Amino acid sequence: MRVEYINSFITSLDHTFQTMLDCSVARGRPAVKNSSTPKFEISGVIGLSGKAVGTVVLSFSRDVALQAASHMLMCEAKEINAEVIDAVGELTNMVAGGAKAQLAEYELMVSLPNVITGRNHAVRFPSDVTPLCVPFESKWGPLSLEVGFSPIREPAHA
């Protein structure tokens, strides 16, 4: 999969935030993830499989997660509870789903969205995968999109 795949995810995130949250996002420069890539407190993670195999990670600062969930729930979320987890998972699902539609030739299927919490968590990829990380700024604070696809991958052992 060529690195242009990242554009489908960027477009999808932009569209999802605009339509679901009425929130514009300003995109920073896509870069290969390294140790200075900022970490956020809450991350939605969803797997993709088909003719390519990959993962989408959407990481939010606490404020972005709470404000986005408040908008979706139409009531103020004050802590990272099950409703906020669901909102972050659903946003991740929608970003992955929108990109999947643009990458039809890979016949991707999305897995279940999981949400990782914990102030110092890191979501790591296999070392043969080079994920691209895209920072965004929103009116609620920073977030990031990270997408990695495996170039070649053996079928899992039976």
Q: Does 114 bind a second copy (CB under 8 A)?
A: yes
Cα torsion for 67, 86, 48, 55, to the nearest 10°?
A: 50
Rg from Cα positions in the chain? 15
Of 2-10, 29-37, 61-69, 149-157: span binding a second copy (CB under 8 A): 149-157
Strand partners, 56: 46, 147
Distances (CA, A) of 148 to 57, 68, 89, 141, 152: 9, 24, 18, 24, 12
- When the beta carbons of 74 and 156 are compared against a second copy, the nearer one is 156
- When the beta carbons of 3 and 109 are compared against a second copy, the nearer one is 109
Chosen residue from 9, 40, 140, 149 binding a second copy by CB under 8 A: 149
Which residues bind to a second copy, rule: CB under 8 A?
Answer: 45-50, 53-55, 57, 82-83, 85-86, 89-90, 93-94, 96-98, 100-101, 109-127, 129, 148-150, 153, 155-158
